[in-house]
Amino acid sequence: MAKPPLRVGLIGTGFMGKAHIFGYTTAARVFDLPRNIVLDTVADITDEAARAAATRYGFEKATSDWRTIVEDPNIDVVNITAPNALHKEMSMAAIAAGKHVYCEKPLAPLAIDASEMTEAAEAAGVKTQVGFNYICNPVFGLAREMIRSGELGEIRAYRGYHAEDYMTDETAPFTFRHDPQGGGAFADLGSHTLATAEYLLGPITRVMGDTVNVIGERPDGKGGIRKVEVDDVGRAFLRFQSGATGSVEASWIATGQKMSHDFEVYGSRGGLTFSGERLNELRFYPVSAIPGRDGFRTILAGPNHPPYGEFCVAPGHQLGFNDLKAIEVAGYVGAIAGLHDEPFNFRAGWRIQSLVETVHRSSQQERWLDT
């Protein structure tokens, strides 16, 4: 019996647009999804670009008007990988048309907009998803399982870190990421640290932020100079509902760091550390009783860590970034089919955006704030 199709309309084919396309493609093969994914329509800036993308990536149709996708009665999912500033308008239109909406992070540059989007989606009863790639990593699932099962004992402390260096060069021009409305390192990368922190340890209840602008001006790309106000480094102290405390830090000027999405979890019976530059490894230190034999063990992702086994039957062979996106897609398709809850829906995306803003506000006011 044929699976019902799931027709996808995708808006925007940049870095993350491609990642979503590859995610759909791989998920459809690797997982036995409940729906048959069809790449229906792709929207891009011009007709020509859209047609090229359709040919290149296997969409049936192309358009330069994203509303065509929203209005197409055949399309089930609207996939938004357009510039952040457009996420809201596109999502609201898609929701109004009864579409499921899969939006790349951030859900919107401002939490107030994310809240509207969330409420609209919930009122409409559509399934939503926001792309927070890293939490789909099988070893994140392993870490959460170890935390929740009590294997690490009482969880006491947390450290999160996301460091890259793509803004190190002060002569690199001003971009949308420097926009005072929703831009900055903490919104871009710190949001991942918060998503991971809550994924692993549960709700954050209080924060003390420290977000710092370092590079105060950049070329405007037109021969002039433009003032930059957003943070290049952001930090926060955290309180979790569970009683644990922690910290997160994000930087896009961490010279030499390419993908340090890292975390450390310390419990009374064990500790965990992870580094994003080695995304198939979880370091685990169990408190044990054999003197002289203790040490952090490097667990390599393998079939014992679902859904790794869907990709490969042998441990240590390693998943890549695009595979994580495929896992994210599979989770979303399962949710649309009613198999389980949405793994990371608009409400979750709003939550992160709200946390980011609370950290910023806390930093400006120089005081702790409830989340």
Residue 70 or 248 with smaller CB distance to a second copy: 248
- Taking the complex as a whole, how short is the minimal distance between the CB of residue 340 and a second copy, in angstroms? 20
Token code pair at residue 307: 């859904």
- Taking the complex as a whole, how short is the minimal distance between the CB of residue 215 and a second copy, in angstroms? 8
Closest CA to 261 of 209, 194, 311: 194
Residue 161 or 346 with smaller CB distance to a second copy: 161
Instruction: Give the neighbor-by-neighbor strand order of the sheet with 270-274.
Output: 281-286, 270-274, 260-267, 155-163, 245-251, 233-240, 204-212, 369-370
**260 to 160, 169, 189, 195, 202: CA distances (angstroms):** 10, 18, 10, 15, 22
- Taking the complex as a whole, how short is the minimal distance between the CB of residue 302 and a second copy, in angstroms? 7
Residue 112 or 157 with smaller CB distance to a second copy: 157
Residue 37 or 70 with smaller CB distance to a second copy: 37
Residue 14 or 98 with smaller CB distance to a second copy: 14
User: Rounded to whole angstroms, how far apart are CA atoms 18 and 10?
Assistant: 10
Closest CA to 6 of 338, 353, 352, 344: 338
Q: Regarding beta strands 270-274 and 260-267, do their DSSP bridges make them parallel or antiparallel, or are they unpaired?
A: antiparallel
- Residue 213 neighbours by CB distance under 10 Å: 15
**333 to 33, 92, 148, 220, 351: CA distances (angstroms):** 7, 20, 25, 41, 22
- Taking the complex as a whole, how short is the minimal distance between the CB of residue 60 and a second copy, in angstroms? 13
- Taking the complex as a whole, how short is the minimal distance between the CB of residue 110 and a second copy, in angstroms? 25
| Cβ pair 126, 120 in contact under 8 A | no
Q: Which residues contact 161 (CB under 8 A, 6 or more apart)?
A: 193, 248, 249, 250, 260, 261, 262, 263
Which residue in the block uniquely carries the two structure tokens 């690199």?
Answer: 172
- Taking the complex as a whole, how short is the minimal distance between the CB of residue 363 and a second copy, in angstroms? 9
- Taking the complex as a whole, how short is the minimal distance between the CB of residue 112 and a second copy, in angstroms? 27
Closest CA to 12 of 38, 41, 43: 43
| Cβ pair 99, 126 in contact under 8 A | yes
- Backbone CA torsion sign across 169, 171, 173, 177: positive
For 187-251, list the strands marked E by DSSP. 204-212, 217-219, 225-227, 233-240, 245-251
- Taking the complex as a whole, how short is the minimal distance between the CB of residue 284 and a second copy, in angstroms? 7
Greatest C-alpha distance within the chain: 68
Residue 124 or 315 with smaller CB distance to a second copy: 315
The CA dihedral of 358, 363, 369, 371, to the nearest 10 degrees, is 20
Residue 106 or 270 with smaller CB distance to a second copy: 270
Residue 131 or 302 with smaller CB distance to a second copy: 302
Q: Regarding beta strands 369-370 and 204-212, do their DSSP bridges make them parallel or antiparallel, or are they unpaired?
A: antiparallel
Residue 11 or 238 with smaller CB distance to a second copy: 238
Residue 66 or 266 with smaller CB distance to a second copy: 266
